[in-house]
Structure 1
């Protein structure tokens, strides 16, 4: 992506992030083509998302169902939306009304997996890609299955939810990043166990870890999917939320 005089701050920031992703991948002898950048756009206006889209980006993430429902019709259909927030059962059907919803990254218990599977089957939509969210930090304020329960939840999704396509694991690290390496190591260990038990290669099992403050370290530790918000879009403005 070439920089132009017309670039706004968000487009310029996106290009910087992409460059940092390439450098982090090189340091770990990986191909940056294997690393997906989810531009996390919660609380941001459609105009700003359009700027990032016009800079060539196609993958966006939202934390709130209402925002993705309101924003998606106003933007091009080739955007791949990732839902990355906690999903409540009563929000499953509205979320699945978004035709270009590409992935739900936050399946953290059997109930939400069952709800997603049931609604998808009822509306006749193609199977949905999902990640199992793991609470690697052990914080009670965080959602996600305990690492010890990861295998059981993955088994449930793969065995009992034909309308879900298990694609890997996701975690949210601690906000001060003090235990980031341990969180990432825990998720990587969970992936190794999942791959061994279910007979799949690690290349087929995504690791969604790393955000604005730690995505380079995450890449160096094996992340294939990073979620970058404020570094691209600027600080969140909750008072202006849709």
Structure 2
């Protein structure tokens, strides 16, 4: 009966003594199940779809840190701007500019992670290192005041080959280190490496993850209605 609480306790134990935090991925799950996770101590919730995060946010406690982890179209940023904590899936200057514009209307600063393409699957989205440099060197980026980059994110290949996963996590860690040294050396807020999910989080933590995104291992199989 207390599966969610037990699973969360398991992850809290796994993360004890690391610098990694848990993002509880709540997509497709009901507000009641999210409340159960909250009651068991979860505070960072990750959603993939804008309409879901917008529907659930008012129904749940105000101290939840909402993270959007799925693809984000610029025309939907306005719905998130009043409350979202971190947008983990930033993959263009255009998106950064829209987040800045919408967050300004609410007098907020929204945090964001640059999403990199690290998997060998074409369907996964994300930036290359060259594209990230181009964004960060641009005057347009430097003019932004209401969006703050706090790190990087990546989705590894869906494989059980440990060597490949390790290599992809290392690649993302390397991108983080380069950007930190070159653009964010004096910004302690730039510290997040979001990588690792239910199947591969242990490897990700070993390779330096600071945010793991875990859904199925907490809620059990997803409830598709």
TM-score strictly above 0.5? yes
Q: What is the match of residue 157 of structure 2?
A: 174
With over 3 angstroms needed to count, the CA separation of the structure-2 counterparts of 1:202 and 1:113, relative to structure 1, is: closer
8 Å contact 1:131–1:170 — kept in the other structure? yes
How far apart are the structure 1 equivalents of 2:73 and 2:50?
9
Q: 1:39 to 1:184 in 2, by over 3 A?
A: same
Please say if residues 86 and 111 of structure 2, whose CA atoms lie closer than 8 Å, have aligned partners that are also in contact: yes
- Work out which of the residue numbers 160, 172, 178 in structure 2 matches 1:187: 172
Please list every run of 5 or more consecutive structure 1 residues that lacks an aligned counterpart in the other structure: 1-6, 23-30
Mean Cα deviation higher: 42-51 or 124-133: 124-133
Per the alignment, residue 126 of structure 2 pairs with: 144
User: What is the deviation of 1:232?
Assistant: 0.4
Any residues of structure 2 matched to 1:85-124 within 5 Å, and which?
A: 85-97=70-82, 99=83, 101-121=84-104, 123-124=105-106
Identify the residue that residue 21 of structure 2 maps to in structure 1.
Answer: 36
Q: For 2:150, what is the secondary structure of its paired residue? A: strand
Hey, what does 1:76 align to over in structure 2?
Answer: 61
Give aligned pairs, total.
Answer: 221
Q: Deviations over 1:97-155 (max 9, x none)?
A: 3x2x211001001111111111122x233111100000012432011101332222344
Q: Is the Cα contact below 8 Å between 1:39 and 1:59 reproduced in 2?
A: yes
Deviation of the 1:237 alpha carbon: 2.5
Instruction: Indicate yes or no: 2:153 matched with 1:153.
Output: no
Q: Which secondary structure state, in structure 2, belongs to the residue aligned with residue 210 of structure 1?
A: strand
1:46 maps to 2:31: yes
Q: Distance in 2 between matches of 1:170 and 1:177?
A: 20
Deviations 1:209-237 (A, max 9, x none): 00101111111110111111100011122
Which residue is 1:3 aligned to? none
Unaligned runs of 5+ in 2: none
Give the CA deviation at 1:35.
Answer: 1.5
Residue 12 (structure 1) aligned with residue 6 (structure 2):
yes
Distance across 1 between alignment mates of 2:41 and 2:121: 37
TM-score, with length taken from structure 2: 0.91
What RMSD in Å do the two structures reach over aligned CA positions?
1.8
Which has the larger displacement, 37-46 or 159-168? 159-168
Counterpart mapping for 1:206-217 below 5 A:
206-217=192-203
**Relative to structure 2, which stretch is displaced further, 52-61 or 170-179?**
170-179
**In the alignment, structure 1 residue 56 sits paired with structure 2 residue 31:** no
Mapped to 2, the partners of 1:162 and 1:58 lie a distance apart of: 26
Residues 109 and 146 in structure 2, CA contact (< 8 A), matched pair in contact too: yes
Question: What does residue 226 of structure 1 align with?
Answer: 212
